[in-house]
Structure 1
Amino acid sequence: MITVLCFGNEWHGDDGFGMEIYKKLKTTPLPDYVNVIFSGTNSLLAWKEVINSSYVILVDACQREETDDLPGSLHWSNPEMFSKTQQRNLHDGGLEELIRHREILSQGQKLPTLEILFVYIDSITAFHKGLSNSVKASIPLAVDMIIKQIQAKESML
């Protein structure tokens, strides 16, 4: 099983990126072995869905802090690098919590391979529904990147 686990809060502007990716993937024909989940803002509750996967793509938005990367730019990362470069997520129980506690949550089961696809955003806008133009423009490329990664990981099944 390959799982795409999307995070975010659609009521906080660009933090709704994960929800938009989820919506696009749910309307895209995908192989039966791909599970697409929207976790909202709490990854710890979704772990039970992830633990039975061999490969997991985590999708989220991250605030830019002292970086030359533009809002809307997409990046792949592994959990270790992500934890070093992204100190704080936009919501408690988010990506960092899942990465930090994945061994405890697995309770001895084999850990799935995790990769993160994230988009840089400038800031969240509380109680504002909708993405900025730069983040909205990144959605088709993000979906394409995810599909290509799924195809590349078929051999893990």
Structure 2
Amino acid sequence: MPKTLIVCLGNALAADDGAGHAVYTALEGVPLRDRVRLCFIGLGGIDLLDELGGEDLLIVVDAVQLGAVAGTVHVLSWEQLPIQHLRPVSGHGIGIREAIEVGRKLYPERIPREIFLVGIEGKCFDQLTESLTREVAEAIPSAVQSVVSLLEG
């Protein structure tokens, strides 16, 4: 059975940047199959590399700004991930693509064969609050279902 890592990113104190944390909290209540590991990384996209251990599948959950309506849930494969996501949406340090590219150079044996991003389109990233905007909060169940669907293959 393939090993899977689900990494939720975000700052729960920065409005919609906390979308990943909200999905993490929701997934803690979902029974996940064997060989699935769930973790949360609050600040620092490069910390993603510390969590990788040669899994077959990596699912990253994060708030994004890809130009869609706030609350839109994007499910993107590695190949579909826009180049613009090289830069972080917020204060995670570096973007997902950049972190994975660094990992491919430093630890190629630890990088999963399949990588997906479940991105929740955010609206507000510049307020110090634990509250998500209404649109993002309403999208959390859909993002959780997207993660579960990826696990089911």
Q: Is TM > 0.5 for Structure 1 vs Structure 2? A: yes
Q: Which moved more, 1:15-24 or 1:109-118?
A: 109-118
Quote how far apart the aligned CAs of 1:123 are. Answer: 2.9
Q: For 1:28-76, what per-residue CA distance to the aligned partner results, in whole angstroms no more than 9, with x for missing partners?
A: 1111211001011213223232232110001111124xx3x21000111
Partner residue, 1:141:
142
How many angstroms apart in 1 are the aligned matches of 2:149 and 2:79? 22
* Equivalent in 21, 44, 47 of residue 45 of structure 1: 47
Quote how far apart the aligned CAs of 1:139 are. Answer: 0.6
- Residues 6-155 of structure 1 aligned to structure 2 (within 5 Å): 6-64=8-66, 67=67, 69-89=68-88, 90-91=90-91, 92-106=93-107, 108-109=108-109, 111-112=111-112, 113-152=114-153
Unmatched tracts of structure 1, length 5 or more: 153-157
Unmatched tracts of structure 2, length 5 or more: none
Q: Is the 8 A contact 1:63 1:123 kept in 2?
A: no
How many angstroms apart in 2 are the aligned matches of 1:146 and 1:70? 20
How many angstroms apart in 1 are the aligned matches of 2:10 and 2:110? 27
Change (3 A) 1:74 1:50: same
SS state of the match for residue 41, structure 2? Answer: strand
TM-score for the superposition, normalised by structure 2? 0.87
How many angstroms apart in 2 are the aligned matches of 1:105 and 1:79? 18
How many angstroms apart in 1 are the aligned matches of 2:98 and 2:87? 10
Instruction: Say how many residue pairs are matched.
Output: 148
TM-score for the superposition, normalised by structure 1? 0.85
How many angstroms apart in 2 are the aligned matches of 1:86 and 1:43? 12
Q: Is the 8 A contact 2:6 2:36 kept in 1?
A: yes
Change (3 A) 1:81 1:99: farther
Q: Is the 8 A contact 1:61 1:118 kept in 2?
A: yes
Change (3 A) 1:30 1:85: same
Q: For 1:80-113, what per-residue CA distance to the aligned partner results, in whole angstroms no more than 9, with x for missing partners?
A: 432424353212134243133121231x415302
